[in-house]
Amino acid sequence: MKIKQILQLSALIAVVLATASCKKENSSTTGWAYNDPKNGGFEVRPYQGQQTGPGLVFIEGGTYTMGQTQDDVMYEWNNQPRRVTVASFYMDETEVRNLDYLEYLYWLDRVYAADYPGVYRKALPDTLVWRDKLAYNEPLVEYYFRHPAYRNYPVVGVTWLQANDYASWRTDRVNEMLLIKKGILSMDPAQKNDNNFNTEAYLAGQYEGLVDKPMPDLNPTGTGTRKVKMEDGIMLPKYRLPTEAEWEYAALGLIGNTLYERVVEKKNYPWN
């Protein structure tokens, strides 16, 4: 008897949940229903939160003492301690590897080398940073970047501009793969020159690509289908370099090592 009552209750709960999910959500500002083609079709897609991009870890924000945390014996006073608040953000778990940058160069060579070889050459790292008058580093000059033994080592000799170009490229490749996994686009290995997936160009309607399944459009005056918008929550925001405050905060690893979130110890090391 009890089992039968539990099954009936479960079925009742399922019916209630199904009924609730079918109910259209109304705007708290205007009272108009969302996702209703009858009133214009303003879409509000369900959003479960931003997914974590490949290789990223979540850094919980907080407040900490940024700058020098020990005596300045030279009295330079160029790194004075100051209280800084950092918002939560995502960051690579490790440095960008030689293998990661080689993947970037391979893509540039495949897409641009035939007509614009300068794009590839512009992205090459400066391997001569290893050369030193007082040291014999020639093996590193020749092999560090391309030899497979160093593939998981951090890439070096990359300028600030090159790093930003890499971040833009990574944004596009990650978002392109997210659209492919959603079944919206198909893989297109034949992309050449400007005919390659670019996040900003796609959002602006300037890139078509190999469309597999477009998004349904609730706009009654539209064509019935549309491209993905940033409001859909499918694509990730732009990759970028961390700020100085974000980098130092992440390197300290203070979350979980503070007393009631009061970072006043000015510790030399992040561990307890």
Distance of CA 66 to the CA centre of its chain: 25
pTM over 0.85: no
**pLDDT given at position 259:** 56
Query: Which of 138, 129, 123, 119 minimizes the C-alpha distance to 157?
Result: 129
pLDDT digits (tens, 9 = 90+) for 199-256: 999 999 888 888 888 888 888 887 888 888 999 899 999 999 999 999 988 888 766 6
CB-CB neighbours of 101 under 10 Å: 22
